Structure 1
């Protein structure tokens, strides 16, 4: 399999068929409806499969308007090029053709890089590159080319190309019967094959365990009979049982730090040999092996210590790049919990005390039983009546949701009396909480000014929110409906909001991070608009409502909650929902409100992501720059888009594409604005973008 259309869609049945329709669209007719295969800019007159393996769509004038070679999945064939700013994505597994864990990027600086799709702690995990990001090749037209003779080369130039670097050896000219292909395999390695998958000519890495990101968090790679596998480090278990690449987490509760000193009664040290770690240690010093072991045990921040050649290196979780190296003479110390042994000793010491207490209290309990039984009977009857009423209201809701029902007392204890406030917004205040003795952090939201219908409206909206689940939406974990209290328990987003990252951080995200965040947010809104059981209009898309998890994945919060507020509850406006500066014009014109209000707000947020500044900024030196949306169109029309990003060296084509999409989203006429489906396709480069008109025209 060398190319896949709609690779992340579910597989279709064997009776599905491709059709070139009378309105000149190429579609796949499947059991679940019509699926577009491609989105060419013009009507398709014919489709042709070339001998090279390139699938091409032509217009009436026999001009190629779309071709599969320009949109590769995980493979390039002989004669095909991987163009600048394009990528290959591995399969999830040999039998699952969805996007997998690895990508191969042809960067704009001329460097070809293989890396993990996942980003951790704001850094990419590159496990292989051609190291061709020289100053000499900046701003050139670069591409990876597999020629017909099976030579895999990095080349520069559109017409008179020159070879920057050849990755494999020379092979004889193709006689017409040999088929070459270069594939990014599911294990993240790039391999060159010919004719069949078993005939391998070249590979980028000699061993899978050389890849830093092959195994997940807190695990290491080892090879047995030439087959790589991942193992959890001591003191951890798999996050998801059966998924060996999914990473591991602690199987004991780590005690709180007090002055950086660990309580050694709670920990023990276990040892592994011949492991190596590519992570950057937070401590590196000369010392003896025994001192290294003791230093990690005493240090409450230390999870792992590696000792090699009289050097001690200490690391904190999460670890990302461990592997077993038979040639390495190293010792690794892992800190594990001793809770079971400690618990046993404490039980033995308390047995005698409990026996004495039991003997002293038996007589008192005997005389008190009669009075307590009479009093308890009446209390029990009262509580039973109250519980029946409460269960009648909540049982139907609990059946529909896989959510935890909390009592108000539980959430008050979890948040330590609602002590640490994370933020305050349109729907109430948000507090930080700890579940499972501090093992899991959550965000608890206390809703304010509920609609008059109260219970019925709350349960109706909870059904909507509870059924939504998407990687770009903040996940709802539980709720509380006790008395007049309405609280929601969400997953904790450790990296704060997009507003913090864009407007208050010392380091602005690089261009690729900005593009990725923009796509994350767009996919989250698309899910609310088109993929839920009933469409949800968010009504308040803005950077402070977009949160970032520990992997820097952008997730939308506060979706589906607008209906829970009283009609007069709003952040800055009286008759509208939303926040000034992000509100679509139709709110003020008493026009019907549609999904396009979220598209407008997204356009403003997209401009802020591009420029790392607020839409309204009174601190700028020039009056025309105060309103970002107007200034952005002026720069676009004048061909001076570099001003928007302070000339930081962003790829011009990518910048122009992003700004064009934002300007289309903020058009004053909602009919002209694209749908969020169209926005996602434009962001991912599957749809051409026409020149936008002035948003206020």
Structure 2
């Protein structure tokens, strides 16, 4: 293959095959070690070879398109170890394909397509010109450029397995699969940290490499990566020259006999990390290492609140029984009037629960995370610990140390329990599970905590009398007066950073007394995290957003409030006091705040994919229909929670793609809702200030009319139309041939364009296509062939119902969620309440025509307003007046 006399005929033959038989280029025979560009593979093309299209030089490893089990219809592009049939890498573990899906290798990279020819996975497409795809004897799949450099390798993107010669770098992880049949990411992972390697479940540690008895530990150097060979498992630093932690394998003393054996490190779907040796001659397997050794240390081995004994036998804790309804192995309270407290995102039970009760676990039980976390607080009594849990929606239970008064909190997820040993760090911890009282119960039960009763009263009432209260009030008044005087002097003298509060003004001191505040960050901490506010990632009406990284490695988004105005302090207090208490999977979480020298900062969780606006309108790749649907549903759930799931009704007032943020795995969260008007459940007052963004503003903003949560529904409908189309509603694009006339606007097409190429306002086009039931004509053309008719119909009809001119005809966001989920029938758009879109459409066409002058535009607006006012006397719905083209919520 290296001679020039062979290369040119080979290229001619390949070109001939490409032209004559495009579906079978290089299909069939297995390539060894290397493949050249312009290669296509599918399972059907290589079915005779069991899907294998590339093998390493000695056939120790194979790249293939295969299913995890013979009976499965889910296929994956994988690299396997031949003798053990172990999958060591997969390109598409979370997105299986069919047997006809294609993998293509070109000189720009590898791309995997689904049946509709839509790319679902690829290597980076900005690589230098590639010359070959190679599979090494180590199992590493690599891309080689024209200068023989490795520019991409599968070893850098591990799944649940690591092999000899592979480096697992700091920050990287092995993530378990859901099962042997499903390669999708599960709940367990092995993470390499700065000084150790940890096993985690739901971000909580349950085992460390340094815990092994035969481990060698040297903490003088930070860890850079993990490797494995025939002698042991190593954490290395100093460019691989220093061993930080070493675990010696059981059979490493027989080095010569085992030098050719194959070893893998794998975290299985049950959360066990193991090193297994595969015999080179007979393919036999032998486990050389396991962590944790005790299966009862695995967080979810006995499901929720199960007690693990004797290495894996399970039973429910006292006062609990196996849940017969769900049949999933979880334990539930024996008392039917009690229910387990859900996480912050699970609010269905909270609405019916008025009290909290703590069930005491057996005294000999402990929880896996207690040994790996510091207590939330120390030197407190058990009532304080319970009260702290009651106030925290993420808290599901507590452990309390009788020796030190330490309070440990179980957050977000409940796992299994195990029987503690006398050698544990704190053998006197007592466990309590947080329960919601949802049925009738004895009001005299002393074990419940009423969440409506102020904690301050619990502390003060037993101690107080009329005289004592008076004395306390006087002392508080005098103390406050002295503090104010002291602060006035310190401000004038401009004290430095040695004074803890020297950088705050008098009004900022009030933040300290606001109940329910999240974490208060020091300005210096945010300054260091953002590298002096260098990395700006966004901006909006209320401030600039910077990306930062805290000392523990957590990425954050810091909003610097720059446009406070007369309502600045009120807006800021609303943001931190109210939104800090709100937790929902589809709402961006406020992690904390900072006030420094009159400047305010809000610290949010970081969403690594940015806004929907950037991804949908300016992204390099096309959002698939499934992901668009999940984004639409997640946004609807977030808004529904703001409207009906909170203690106070919150109207967002600025729903738009810029305020919809995306994270990994299509997680979608609403942002900036804390800057909206806050209403109590019974309040229905009026706004005095126009809020929102043109193009998404509901018509009622333009009248002195009552503003309700239906303005968010309207804005959501406009966003939903943009999700369907993949472009702004007001952007120009040719429309499909329609049988109907766009309100007589044909004559207004710009520059004499044909009917097919006229400029249209997309919401109006959606109305017309709905009337003709041509829903697929509205879908993003880049998704052609991927969307079913009924799926397109669902989103279009929901969107049109949301943008009804009459607010009373718009569905609630809860009903929108029900329609998208399929639990409610689809609404039917009311054409009479969508006629205003024809005016908007005409205005858009006029404004796109250079010859239309302002006087003529204003005349049209006046005529339309008069028509609308006249029709109000005969119409069954309210029609709103429109003030000017600068105020309408329509296009531009």
- TM-score normalised by the chain length of structure 2: 0.40
Q: Which has the larger radius of gyration?
A: 2
Question: RCO higher in 1 or 2 (8 Å CA, sep ≥ 6)?
Answer: 1
